[in-house]
């Protein structure tokens, strides 16, 4: 359990007591405990993280703690995923007090595991061997066997508690016992699909998460994950071995996925097979022809026997181990008749994709993955799911207000199918007075209107300064990589180096392929991985040096870029309206200037190539619209008066309204040229 902010409890935390101490004359137990402690305790680590989380519509950082155990002489550490979820910095402290920085080598949310790698070369004595523990066979555990739980409860120094194994095949079902439940790690990240849990009564508390469960032979047989009320649960070590092996082989965990829900067949009066209760649309199983109600008898020639919910995780795990992108024969019963089908095993997507902030709306949201749709019973993967809202901002004051868990389906009547389409629609309607939003809440299809002119409340807090690299990139998909002669390479191709940035000064060039940041590989090979580099940079501090590993024309090199603060966005810029001409303007941002000039903006106080305000809104049918003003025009003068700042614009609007001319002359920059727009308004009666 992570502490202090995100400790997880499966059960209410009641009065919790440690297991009774062994009798004084039980010397064999004492000796076994001492041997086990000596073999594992030196490899125990206290994990300290600086974590970035999204809350109330914006990014925030906080410290958190957990436990882990070193399992290799190279410094690999096993802990829980929920301990390091969102972590931007990780430090491991040994029982000796030595602190070592660690990198997150492989997060594995579905198993609630993570593999870290200690930076042993940064130790004061890099040649000194690191203590490590051996991983045992969790399948050999028996009920009643004595075990030790090691960790750092409530952030205190390393500790050991004693208990016994209560159950080796624990699964969780709902109250009526008719469906299996998976556990929520927080923010909707689910775990427990692929394994039984080891239930024991060795005392664990917040901070023990990720610490080892140890048998009296001094082997790690589980990773403690959650508990309360005198009961605790651990991930079996044989699941840990799978994650560790894949992390060391691929740098990630690869699992097969069919998109099916199974339950036991006992209520059908059968002794063999597994009953399909759902097949996710567009999933591998759905494409292969499997439907709800089918009873699966065998997969890839192996008989399927699911007589209890204890068997369900084993079936999911069997499918997870099938060869990816390869066909597997399925024999099933449908309507009393046996038939054979073929399913091509697809790779399991990440359950949760990266979260993003949409500041003008005051929300954070993320795209919907196939496993998320399956687990949350969504009809499809269309839309984005809203994760948090910011008090006092448009999403929060709308009637009805948007809430966490809502799925945004359309903006101003245009459908939202992907995160990219949602982001484009938010930008398209930025600066408007109002924006209609259609969304799904549970089974309801609802509509609301956001007042985008809502002023943020005082004391709402500012967004954290975000580090910025100063480039635009594309994901190195397998097709692109092969076309560039870089087959098998993952990362990002530089599509544009923005002018005046630290990236340009450091020598980064168009066509460079960024594969690592500070030695950490960028595991990006699909379009949905497009935010990985951006998020990695944002997790660093403004002013920090980012060491980029770059491929340029096939040659490897390192380029160090001093990270600068991300420039102001259109949503952050000051705005103003002209109610008579029915137009709105905002201050020009860095990107506005670059798009119009291909140059960096001038330093503060210096005159640039262009000066003006961006026309952010032109009301359809309004006077400015009729005259031909366009959104995106740069307003240079307003009726022959300067309009380079919001205050100048307001003064010009006021002065012109008092004069009430028949024609209001607007001088604008459009694309690479300039133009006059002559507006002929009907002035309101005085």
- Burial class of residue 558, CB neighbours in 10 A (0-12, 13-18, 19+): exposed
**C-alpha separations of 325 from 175, 370, 652 in Å:** 38, 17, 65
449: which strand partners? 436
d(CA 214, CA 237): 10
Sequence-separated (6 or more) residues with CB below 8 Å from residue 613: 576, 585, 586, 587, 588, 634, 635, 643, 644, 645, 646, 649
Tell me the two tokens of residue 539.
């997790």
Sequence-separated (6 or more) residues with CB below 8 Å from residue 13: 228, 229
The C-alpha R_g of the chain, in whole angstroms, comes to: 29
Phi, psi of 375 (to 5 degrees): -70, -35
CB distance 78 to 31 below 8 Å: no
d(CA 609, CA 51): 42
Token pair 């998320």 in the structure block, residue: 372
Sequence-separated (6 or more) residues with CB below 8 Å from residue 554: 485
Cis peptide upstream of residue 400 (ω within 30 degrees of 0): yes
**C-alpha separations of 62 from 46, 48, 354, 403, 598 in Å:** 17, 11, 19, 24, 39
CA angle 350, 352, 358 (to 5 degrees): 135
Cis peptide upstream of residue 505 (ω within 30 degrees of 0): no
User: Which is catalytic among the residues 67, 72, 76, 82?
Assistant: 82
Tell me the two tokens of residue 210.
């990720």
Give the distance, in angstroms, between the CA of residue 514 and the centroid of all CA atoms in the same chain.
Answer: 21
Tell me the two tokens of residue 333.
């019963």
User: Which is catalytic among the residues 209, 237, 395, 616?
Assistant: 209
Type and span of the H or E element at 503: helix 502-506
Q: Is 209 a catalytic residue?
A: yes
CB atoms within 10 A of CB 399: 7
Type and span of the H or E element at 33: helix 27-40
Sequence-separated (6 or more) residues with CB below 8 Å from residue 91: 47, 48, 49, 99, 100, 101, 102
d(CA 361, CA 638): 30
- Burial class of residue 75, CB neighbours in 10 A (0-12, 13-18, 19+): buried
CB distance 565 to 465 below 8 Å: yes
Q: Is 82 a catalytic residue?
A: yes
Rounded-to-10 torsion of CA 214, 220, 224, 229: -20
Max CA-CA distance within the chain? 105
Sequence-separated (6 or more) residues with CB below 8 Å from residue 177: 309
User: Which is catalytic among the residues 72, 85, 108, 112?
Assistant: 112
d(CA 86, CA 551): 28
Classify each residue of 595-615 as buried b or exposed e, where b means 16 or more C-beta atoms within 10 Å of its C-beta.
ebeeebbeeeeeeeebbbbbb
Q: Helices (H) and strands (E) in the chain — how many of each?
A: 14, 47
d(CA 536, CA 59): 14
Q: Is 651 a catalytic residue?
A: no
Rounded-to-10 torsion of CA 421, 427, 432, 435: 30
So which residues are the catalytic ones? Answer: 82, 112, 209
């Amino acid at each position: 359990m992570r502490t202090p902010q995100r400790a997880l409890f499966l059960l209410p935390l009641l009065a919790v007591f440690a297991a009774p101490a062994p009798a004084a004359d039980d010397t064999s137990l004492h000796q076994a405990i001492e041997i086990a402690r000596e073999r594992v305790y030196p490899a125990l680590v206290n994990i300290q993280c600086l974590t970035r989380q999204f809350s109330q519509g914006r990014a925030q950082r906080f410290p958190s703690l957990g436990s882990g155990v070193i399992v290799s002489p190279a410094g690999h550490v096993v802990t829980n995923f929920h301990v390091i979820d969102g972590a931007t910095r990780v430090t491991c402290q040994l029982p000796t007090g030595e602190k070592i920085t660690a990198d997150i080598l492989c997060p594995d949310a579905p198993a609630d595991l993570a593999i870290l790698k200690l930076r042993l070369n940064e130790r004061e004595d890099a040649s000194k061997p690191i203590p490590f523990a051996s991983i045992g066979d969790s399948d050999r555990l028996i009920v009643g066997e004595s075990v030790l739980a090691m960790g750092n409860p409530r952030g205190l120094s390393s500790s050991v508690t004693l208990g016994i194994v209560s159950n080796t095949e624990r699964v969780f079902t709902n109250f009526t016992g008719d469906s299996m439940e998976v556990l929520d790690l927080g923010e909707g990240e689910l775990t427990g699909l692929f394994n039984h849990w080891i239930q024991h009564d060795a005392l664990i508390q917040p901070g023990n998460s990720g610490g080892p469960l140890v048998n009296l032979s001094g082997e790690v047989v589980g990773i403690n994950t959650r508990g309360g009320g005198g009961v605790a649960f651990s991930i079996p070590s044989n699941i840990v071995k799978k994650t560790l092996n894949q992390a060391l082989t691929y740098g990630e965990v690869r699992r097969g996925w069919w998109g099916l829900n199974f339950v036991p067949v006992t209520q059908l009066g059968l002794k063999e097979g597994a009953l399909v209760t759902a097949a996710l649309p567009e999933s591998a199983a759905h494409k292969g022809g499997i439907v709800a109600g089918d009873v699966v008898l065998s997969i890839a020639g192996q008989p399927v026997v699911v007589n209890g919910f204890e068997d369900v995780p084993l079936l999911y795990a069997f499918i997870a181990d099938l060869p990816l992108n390869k066909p597997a024969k399925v024999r099933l019963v449908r309507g009393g008749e046996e038939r054979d089908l073929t399913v091509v095993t697809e790779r399991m997507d990440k359950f949760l994709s990266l979260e993003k902030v949409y500041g003008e709306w005051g929300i954070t949201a993320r795209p919907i993955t196939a496993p998320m749709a399956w687990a949350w019973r969504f009809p499809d993967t269309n839309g984005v799911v809203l994760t948090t809202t910011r008090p006092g901002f448009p999403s929060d004051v709308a009637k009805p207000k948007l809430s966490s868990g809502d799925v945004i389906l359309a903006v101003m009547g245009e459908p939202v199918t992907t995160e990219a389409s949602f982001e484009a629609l938010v930008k398209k309607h930025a600066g408007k007075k109002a924006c209609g939003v259609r969304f799904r809440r549970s089974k309801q299809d609802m509509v609301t209107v956001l007042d985008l002119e809502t002023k943020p409340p005082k004391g709402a807090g500012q967004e954290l300064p975000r580090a910025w690299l100063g480039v635009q990139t594309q994901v190195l998909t397998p097709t692109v990589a092969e076309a560039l002669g870089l087959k098998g390479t993952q990362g990002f191709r530089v599509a544009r180096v923005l002018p005046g940035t630290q990236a340009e000064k450091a020598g980064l060039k168009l066509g460079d392929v960024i594969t690592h940041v500070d030695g950490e590989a960028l595991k990006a090979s699909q379009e949905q991985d497009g935010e990985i580099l951006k998020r990695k940079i944002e997790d660093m501090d403004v002013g920090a040096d980012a060491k980029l590993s770059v491929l340029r024309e096939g040659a490897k090199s390192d380029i160090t870029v001093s990270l600068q603060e991300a420039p102001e966005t259109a949503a952050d810029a000051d705005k103003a309206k002209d109610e008579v001409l029915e137009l709105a303007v905002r201050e020009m941002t860095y990107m506005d200037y670059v798009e119009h000039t291909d140059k960096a903006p001038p330093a503060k106080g210096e005159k640039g190539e262009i000066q003006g305000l961006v026309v952010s809104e032109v009301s359809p049918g309004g006077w400015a619209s009729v005259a031909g003003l366009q959104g995106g025009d740069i307003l240079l003068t307003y009726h022959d008066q300067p309009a380079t700042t919001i205050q100048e614009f307001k003064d010009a609007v006021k002065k012109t309204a008092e004069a009430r001319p028949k024609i209001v002359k607007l001088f604008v920059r459009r694309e690479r040229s300039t133009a006059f727009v002559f507006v002929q308004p009907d002035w309101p009666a005085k």
